[in-house]
Structure formats: C-alpha cells, structure tokens
Structure 1
Amino acid sequence: MISVDEARQILEANTPEGRSYSLPLTEANGLILAEDIFTGISVPPFDNSAMDGYAMNYVAGQTQWTIRGEIPAGSGVALTVKKGEAVRIFTGSPMPADTNTVIPQEDVTIEGDQLICTKQGIQKGANVRTTGSQIRQGQLLMVAGSTITPGAIGLLASTGKSQVPIYTPPLVGIIVTGNELIPPGKALKPGKIYNSNAPMLEASLQQLGVCRISTAQVSDHYAATRQMIADFIDHHDLVIISGGISVGDYDFVKSALDSLGAKTLIYKLKQRPGKPFYAGLCQNKMVFALPGNPASVLSCFNHYVKPVIKKMMGKQRVWQPDNLATLTTAVEKKKGFTFFLKGKYQNGQVEVLQGQQSFNLIAFSEANCFIELPEEVERLNAGTQVATHFLYL
C-alpha cells in the first residue's frame, strides 16, 4: 500500500494529455483554452466617439462652431470637417478626419446652424476612444489554461474571434460489476440491490462538464469482465470500473486488467474509505477501478478521478484542497491511514456528519464536502484546521 500523497504524485505525473479542438465561441463557456490567443486587429479598430455629442478640431478657448452634418454609429461616410466646423456624432461613430475632441450634447446649445459650448474647461482629446486604446493588434489576449467566461467570450468576440481552441472533456466509460445489481425502477427481488454507483458517477461526471458517457453492467465472470473492459478501453478516453477490484472469489477486475497489458500505477491505498483502489494505464488511457461500496466510490472519484479529468480538461492546481476549515468537534481516527469523512462546510467551519461507513450514503443528503484527516494523526481537537474538498465544485 502507498500513501494518499504518493498516489496524488503518481497520478499527476501520469495523467495523459487532454485532447483539444476548435469550438464555436458561443459553445465554449466554462471550458479551458488550449492555446494562447492573440488578436488580429486593434480594438477599437478606428478612432470613435465615447459620447453622443459633437466632434470638432478643438482649439483651446474656442466656444462656437458651424454644424456641418452628422455621422451615425456604423456609418462608413467620410466627412471632412474644417476649422470652425463641428459634426453631430453618436457613441461608437467613427471620428472624422481632422477632428480631435467630442463635446457631449448636454454641454452645448444650438442656435440655427451654430453650436455653442456652455461648459468651461473643455480638454482637447476629450471623449475620444483612439485606435487600439483597449487592445493593440498582435497583443496576447488570453493564455492557454484560462477558463472561458462570458466576459472572455465578449472580449474574444470584440476582436472578431468566432472559434476558439479548447480542451475537450474526455469520453468516459463506466462499468459496474456485480450479479446482485438491478437498475432503479425495477422490482427488487431477493438477494438483489439497486445500482446506485452508475447514476452517481454519471451525475458526478456531468457536473465536471463531461457529457459523453457510456455505462454498462457486467456479471461476475472473468471472461465477460475482461471483454467488457477491453471494449471500453478501445472506445473511450478514460474508463471507471466500480466493484470487483478486491481479492474475493468473484473479483476479476485486477486479473482482467493485467491480462490486457495494463500498467498498474496504484493498487491499494492507506486510506479509509476506499483501500482497494486501482489506477493504471492501458493503451495510454487512464483506467480506474473503485471499490463497490457507494460511499467509497464517491470518495475515490472525488479525490483521484475528478482531479485527473480536470487536468485532462486543462485545469490547473487540481490536486490542492478546495479550502481549509475549522473542525466543530474533536475527531479520533486510526493512525497510518488518511481518512476522508463526509462533512458539512459553512462559514469557515466544518461539521463531521453521522453515517461514515463506506456503504452508507445517507450523510450525502446534507454533505457538501469531504474532510481530509492526515495519515499520521490519531486525534484532532475541535478548532483544528483541516483540508476540505468540496463535493460540488
């Protein structure tokens, strides 16, 4: 067995490179940029007015001009404005040649064709957005690894970008093992239990932005298990297997993976829950085998599978805890194992919930995090700061 910290280091070093492709800008919200983006134009691309008002070639002390015409926003009309003349202009309208200042409409009066400025202290160059004052042509807009937000979409669109290179979420296959499992919704027969792991894993993947998910169930037979795993590795970027990874008479996952040439990276961890955890590489694709107990599945998914997927999607600092929080009560544990406890985080404090058994899901009705208790400690007093990992982030 290895420690949790060693497992994180191994997975960080062995996570395959995520795939990237070009996606329409309007579909990229929340995804991660795969390449640096440079602008091909300046923004604004021409000198334009920042206000509704009047444009002129302003000379200090001048207060009156002859109105020559107007330039609406979007107009491509070129007007020549002579000394002593002004033109009606609107926000975003291109500045005519030989004009340098815009006086807002509320600071003038009109008498016939004469424009009279009623405000003192007009500054030359006022209310003009010059070419490239926001972005210069060739400037770096966004660096690879940045999250594409609505604001970033607006920025990229303002430079004419319609497509962006993004990391694509992986195609994930889920295999659940067990003769005892039946789908929710069917009548429960003696000796059977409902399959809760598959829908729980699907929901967890969808929360990460993974939408291409295949799910299958396989019986506890070696040949069937091996064939199903082989098929899923061929057709997916990452495979998650639930159950069948321990050492029972009907646990065939590890031997099936070995026979397929998978390279074992991790097998068994000094942690609770989820000691019989497996991670490996097969055809340069990550394969995870999680214990069958539902709470162990969700714990192992959050601490190992989720960071790997987030890294494949271009995210950074995926192995760091989400927060530090103060324990509301004292906790005792067995030394030599890292414990991940279901917790409820609120206002900087975290409560250890009842129902910590690996088979018990009841605490997840109110849990919003896992509390990480270090391997080397046996007791943590109330008020101790502990690492927390949010369930829904």
Structure 2
Amino acid sequence: MISVSEAKKILQDNLISGKTILVDLDKASGLVLSEDIFSPIDIPFFNNSAMDGYAICWKEGINRRELRSQSKSKAGDLQELVLGENEAIRIFTGAPVPSGADTIIPQEWVKIEERQLIFDSDKFRKGANFRGKGAQNKAGDLIAKKGSSISPGMIGLLASVGINQISVYAAPTVGIILTGDELEEAGNPLGFGKVYDANGPVMKSYLQNLGVKEIQIGKAVDEPEKLQQKINEYLDKYDVLILSGGISVGDYDYVKEGLRQAGVHELFYKVKQKPGKPLFVGQKENQWIFALPGNPASTLTCFNQYVKPCIEAWMGKKEVWNPSGAYPLADNFEKTTGLTFFLKAKLENGKVIILPSQESFNLISYGAANCIAEVGEEVERLEAGTNVNIYNW
C-alpha cells in the first residue's frame, strides 16, 4: 500500500496527453488551446469614436468649430468622411473617425449656436475619446497562449478578430462499468437486497462538468466471464475506463483479475487513505483505467483526487494536482494516524466546516458539501484555526 503523495507522483509521471482537434468557436468553451493564437487583423480595425459627440482636429486654446451641416458618421458607415480645417462633424459611438480628426468632444459638453460648436478646451486634451486603429492589438500580435482555458471572455476576444475555429485538446471518451448484482436504477421499484445506483449519475455529472461529451455507462453482473467480456468491450472503445465496485478482496470482487487478463498495466493498487483505500489505477497503451471502490463516498472522493486531474491533464490543463486553497478549520478535529483522510466539508465565511456523516456509504453530507478537506496520514489532532487544504468539486 502506498501513500497519497506517492500515488499522485506515479500518476504525474505517467500522464497521457489527448489528441488535438479543430472545433468551432461556439463549441470551445471550457476546452484548452493546443496552439498559440495570433490576431489576423488590427483591433480596432479603423479609428473610431468612444463616445457620441463631435469629431475635431485638436488645436490648443481653440474652443469653437464650424459644424458641417448634414455630415454625420455612424457605426457601420462604409464611406470615410474628410474633416475640413476648423470643422466639426457629428459622430456616434463606434463610428469611423473622419480623416483629419483626432479628438472626440462628447455631446453633453458642447453648445451649438448658429452652426458654431462651442466647448471648454480646458476640459479636454488631444486624443480624447479617440480609439486608434490597432490600439487593442496589431495584426500578428499573440492574443491567446497555448494551454489557456477557453472562457466566455476569450471566445469574445477571438470572435472580435474574426476567428471562428480553433485547435484544442480533445476531451477523452469515457466508459463506465458499474459492477454488482445489487444495483437498481432510480425510478424502478427497489426490491429487498437492492440499492439504487448513485455512482453512475454522479460520475456522469462530474465528467460533463469537466467537458467530457462522450460517456457510456454499462453494468456488469458478478460473474467473471461476463465482467471480462464487458471490460474487453469497453477497452476497445474508450480512452478512459472507470469501474465502480468489485476491486476489494471479497469473494465476488473480480475486477482486478479481469483487468490483468485484459492486458492492463498496474500503476498501483491500494492507497493509505480514507475513504477509498482499495483503489486501482492502470494503463493500457494510451488509455487510463481506474477501478474505484463501490461505496458512493469512496467513489466520489477517488474521482475528485485521481480521475479528475488525469482527465484535466489529458485535456491540456495545467496545475491540476494543486489544492483549491488552504483555509482554517472551524472546529477541532481528531483522527487516527496512518491514513490520509479526505473529508466532506463546507467552506463557509472563510472557514472549513467538517461535516457529519463521513461514512463511505453515506451521501447525506454530500448534499451540503462544497469541497473535500485533506488531513495528512501522520496527523492525529488539528486545532480550530489550523489551515487545511481543500479541493473544490
């Protein structure tokens, strides 16, 4: 059995990078850029006005201009106006600035008397409210770096320079095998000896939040031959295989042997942690294989700590192993030494509250939890106010 830090080090040393694909910009949110992006154009593409007002050529101390009658520049105009000497032209926000103009006087700061534009020149300076061509970026400038997560803001930036397709790291395809004759789907009557499946829905939801689109959930009964058939089938189809249950040492736990027969290389089996000690992680060529304990809290904890960062790294994300932060405990906490504890917790008002109902079968506290708190294996007691690492969902 290895420590949590040893397990994570092994995974970091064996990370798999996904392939790159070209996607439409409107389908790229949450993915990661696989190459640098350079702007194909200047932005702004032309000199334009930041305000509704009047375009002038600035001259120190001169606060009057002859207003050219019937000349206006509005957004979308295709014909460029030319400003005459000592003239002013009506202009609107986003409109092209007439040739010869270099300053915009906002409309609320002017008076017009007999076609004369009058303003207080002391309140302005040359270039006021003037957006010059290329002020944001020049053609050829680096505007988005490889490895950056694609946010709604980045999508807006890329769209503004005319980019409609980008190269990203593809999300893996994921197959989930739920083991156990006792599992029943929600919505069906629950017979004696049966339990409703929580692991399938929770892992599917988690994967969707990570940006994984192709997810298949299947079931395998507690028979070695049928389980082996399902493992082989899913290894032929998916980049990532996740199994839930059947990985301990009970009489009906056939998963580990099934993975061995399928040619999966074991990276480690069993971690000094609670919950989720009987965790198996392996690889086959460029595939990840995770066999998680079947108790729901164990499944979700192992997913958060091991599956999630490996998938995020596959998709090109960085610093995937780092905790979300360190915050002070709200209350004292005690445990036995020898195991790292991952505890359902709630970060509230800047403090970490360790929730009740920490048993591996118990999901009550998951309804209130917004993070997992980590307490190291050699720790026996923590005083209130001691900082602990947390991991957000």
The TM-score normalised by the length of structure 1 is: 0.93
Residue type of the partner of 1:205? L
Please give the alpha-carbon distance, in whole angstroms, between the structure 2 residues aligned to 1:85 and 1:352. 71
Aligned to 2:117: 116
1:181 aligns with 2:183: yes
Alignment deviations for residues 252-283 of structure 1 (CA, whole Å, 9 cap, x no partner): 21111111211111111111111110011013
Aligned length: 390
Aligned to 2:41: 41
Aligned to 1:53: 53
Structure 1 window deviating more from structure 2 (115-124 vs 133-142): it is: 115-124
Aligned to 2:27: 27
Please give the alpha-carbon distance, in whole angstroms, between the structure 2 residues aligned to 1:293 and 1:185. 20
> Is the 1:324–1:348 contact (alpha carbons within 8 Å) kept by the matching residues of 2?
no
Aligned to 1:169: 171
Aligned to 1:10: 10
Aligned to 1:193: 195
Q: CA 1:123 to 1:345, structure 2 compared with 1: closer, same or farther past 3 Å?
A: closer
SS at 2:313 equivalent: helix
Give the one of 344, 347, 350 matched to 1:348: 350
Aligned to 1:207: 209
The TM-score normalised by the length of structure 2 is: 0.93
Aligned to 1:224: 226
Please give the alpha-carbon distance, in whole angstroms, between the structure 1 residues aligned to 2:98 and 2:347. 59
Residue type of the partner of 2:121? Q
SS at 2:121 equivalent: coil
Q: Name the % identity.
A: 48
Aligned to 2:301: 299
> Is the 1:15–1:286 contact (alpha carbons within 8 Å) kept by the matching residues of 2?
no
Please give the alpha-carbon distance, in whole angstroms, between the structure 2 residues aligned to 1:288 and 1:164. 31
Give the one of 369, 374, 380 matched to 1:367: 369
Give the one of 100, 105, 108 matched to 1:106: 108
Residue type of the partner of 1:118? F
Give the one of 363, 373, 379 matched to 1:377: 379
Residue type of the partner of 1:19? K
5+ long unaligned stretches in structure 1: none
1:336 aligns with 2:346: no
Q: CA 1:176 to 1:137, structure 2 compared with 1: closer, same or farther past 3 Å?
A: same
Aligned to 1:260: 262
Please give the alpha-carbon distance, in whole angstroms, between the structure 1 residues aligned to 2:353 and 2:83. 72
SS at 2:289 equivalent: strand
> Is the 2:67–2:117 contact (alpha carbons within 8 Å) kept by the matching residues of 1?
no
Please give the alpha-carbon distance, in whole angstroms, between the structure 2 residues aligned to 1:100 and 1:294. 66
1:78 aligns with 2:80: yes
Structure 1 window deviating more from structure 2 (66-75 vs 167-176): it is: 66-75
Please give the alpha-carbon distance, in whole angstroms, between the structure 1 residues aligned to 2:9 and 2:348. 30
Q: CA deviation at 1:201?
A: 1.6
SS at 1:235 equivalent: coil
SS at 1:229 equivalent: helix
Q: CA 1:248 to 1:129, structure 2 compared with 1: closer, same or farther past 3 Å?
A: same
